[in-house]
Every structure is written in structure tokens, then in C-alpha cells.
Structure 1
């Protein structure tokens, strides 16, 4: 879609270029930005020209740049990460064209209930690295970074720089289950699970207004944990009570897979 009010496009070369002028907003992949009118947006600042490495692997884990595309993440040299990234994108019906342009950071910053990268990053205990306008940097779990539908903890002038995925989470087996109201509709519920020492970690997205993390000792803990969720989401893709019911089924399937043995 044409953004008819845009009069300027700046290519960011360093951090100082991210001080936004009135009416400016940042852009990376632009798959959402250019999909609908953006009233009041008069300038765009391109993050992709900063040259951030898409993936940086160390002993501590993998740092995913906010400008890393979802397609790049699905081709990550780490097999577990690549498989999970592809599964999350496919579960949310993200076309290959969108995956080639859409970025991890952009997907997170939209705060969508059915956010593919939100599901992945929360499931892997991801930590958001945020650049502050005063030159500082802050970190917080992605699980709390996304606060609700279209809401994040980003303050005015803050930029999501990267997501840090710890090696401990990347090394664990994972399982994914998803369902939609229609055979090929948008995800009404997406459950991603992984093991963590002697516990199981289940992440619920799509069915809730924000990501929900359940840490369970076993199957007996599942029902009370689900009963404690108070942020079920409703829209044309599914009623809240139906989403709660199907999430229970998906969560039980994921937990069963993890209990039975490693799956990638």
C-alpha cells in the first residue's frame, strides 16, 4: 500500500540516526507497515542499513538481530532453532514471501496474539535487548516484553536491537501443536513446549492476549495451570471459551510428546 503522507526515507548508519523526528517511524521488513494506511507517518528510518549480523552464536547462546528475517532464522545453522522457527512460521500461515521480508523484531514489536516470533522467543526463554534514547541498553524477557494485543513495553524512542536465546534452552527438545477455526485459517491457539531439567515449559500464544508460560512438573499440573490463565482472546477467528478448550487439548498433546522422549 502507498503511504501517501511519507515525504522522507532515511538510511540509518549508526545509533545516532535512530533519534526520530516528529512523524518518523522505523522500518525493517515493512510487511505490516506497508500493508495498511499509516496516518501521521511522514518519514521512515531504515534499520536494515545498520548492518547488524542476523545471527551471532557464542557459548552463551544465539543473539538474533531485530532485523533478521524469519526466513534467515529458519535457515539457522542450529538445527533445533531452525526447525522451531519454521514450525512457528508455518503454524501461523506465514507465506514464504512474507518470511523472506518480515523480521523477527518487527513481528515481536507488533504484539500480535498470533505472533510467530513471540511464540518462538518466549518458548526459548528469549531476552529482548532494547536500545534506549539516552544511549543506554536494557534487557527483559520477551515473555513480559509483549504486554497485550498490539502492546509492548517499548517506550517512546526505544528500539528493539536483538533477542538473546540462551544455550540452555536451545539444547532442549521441543514440540509444537496448533489449531485454527477453519482448515487453513489463522491460528486460534499455538502451544510450544520444551523440557527444562526436570520440568516442562509450555508457551501459549494465539489463544491469549499475551504470551503465557506454564512451568509444569508433569501431566497432573496441567489442568490447574490452564485454569489460572485469565487472558483468553476472542476475535472472529475463535471465541475465548473455545480457545481455552482447544488449548487444553493441544497442551496435553505437547506435554505427552515431551514426556515420551526427545523430539525436534
Structure 2
């Protein structure tokens, strides 16, 4: 038989009773400020009538167990989506919800019941444990087949799974909608960029044509220069052959150099003036 101290100290005992989430509403109505099946840290603190810091410290000490039973820490895009979808603007801007937060801890009913089995100094938590123990004792005294309890637990877990899947489907649907909107905006931007890209492509084509024409002209110039170089080489060879032929002719006629004075024209004596 479970007792209050056993629930406070034994994790396995808490795990065995964590599915009995109906006892929460039997003791006190659990209000969710998010409008969904997830309570914030402040919601849990209000339910158990304790400061939020108490719930935060408890969540830090028993993070693994509470996470296993349905506590989630939202960050980044998940936090932004949760705040946008679940919290109204007035609540977000109020003193209970800071405008800029890096994370947000939320609890489902199973996690809230686990908190009730961990809080020592909360009157509401003590009432929940008492009601939970009474319900468990009553269930033990009834002649119920063990399979019925297993089916009931499986049914409750199935309900919780369905609620989780429904929330996930809504989140997925919103993400797909945002993706479709982004795709439409991207199409508009691409259509606007189409004419600009067309003009840039035409200019690049003209530059390519100019570069190709320049290459052709350069190739022709190189061919002309090569031809001129070859022609000059041939002329040099012809000049060497002419010099050799000239030397051969001079040797054949035994030609000697002509003195410079013989090359000057004769001077005719001046004629006398007529009287």
C-alpha cells in the first residue's frame, strides 16, 4: 500500500500513479493560460498556490523524471511558434509573460500530477496525494480483473498520444502554410529578377563575341608577323648569297679596288674670255 511519504520518496511509486490525472480536477480546477493541454510554470505554481521559483527548483531537481512524464522546455522556433499560437498578445506583454524569453517550460497533466507527488509544502499537493491514495486504495479493494486496469491505462495513454499528435499536426500544418507563402514570395522575386538576368545575359554574350573577335584578330596579326619574320629571314639569306656571288665575280676578273682620285671627275681648264 502506498503512503504519502512513499510517493514523496519513491520514483517507481510515482510512475505507477502518474496516469491518474483525473484527480487534479477532483481537488481543484487546473487552469491553462495557454488554452491548450499544456500549463506554464506560472500555471502550475498558481494551481498549487506556491511561488513560481518553487516549481522551477523542483523541475530542476527532478528534470529527468518530469521530462519523462510530459514536461517540455521550448526554445528557438518551437518557443516562438508556441507563444504565437497559444499565448495572446495581451498575455505575452503582461507581467506574467516577459516579452523576451529564451525558453519556456510547459507541463502536461501527467507532469503536473508528478509535481503534486513531489511538492512537500503545498496544501493543494497534499490534497491531491490524499485523493490519489484514496482512489488507489478504493481500486485495490474492488474486485477488478488486472486486465481491466491495464486496458484503462492503455486507453489513457492512447488519449494522451492522440492529443500530442493533434498538437503536432496543427504545428506541421502551420509550418507548411508558411513554407507555401515563402515559395510564393520567392516566385515573385524570381519573376522580377528575370528581365534583369536577361539583360545581363545579353551583355555577357556581347562581351563573349568581342573577346572572340579580338582573339581572331590577334591570331591573324600573329600570322602576318610570322610571315614577315620568315620573309626577312629569306631576304637575309638572299643577301648572303648575293655577297658570295659578288666576291666570286671579283675574284674571277681579278678586280682591285679603284683609287679614290680616279673616281673623281676631271677638271676642265677654264676657257679664256672673249675680247
Q: Which has the higher contact order (CA 8 A, sep 6+)?
A: 2
Quick check: which one's helix share is greater?
Answer: 2
Task: State which structure, 1 or 2, has the greater radius of gyration over its C-alpha atoms.
Answer: 2
Normalised by the shorter chain, which TM-score bucket? Answer: under 0.3
Q: TM-score, normalised by structure 1?
A: 0.22
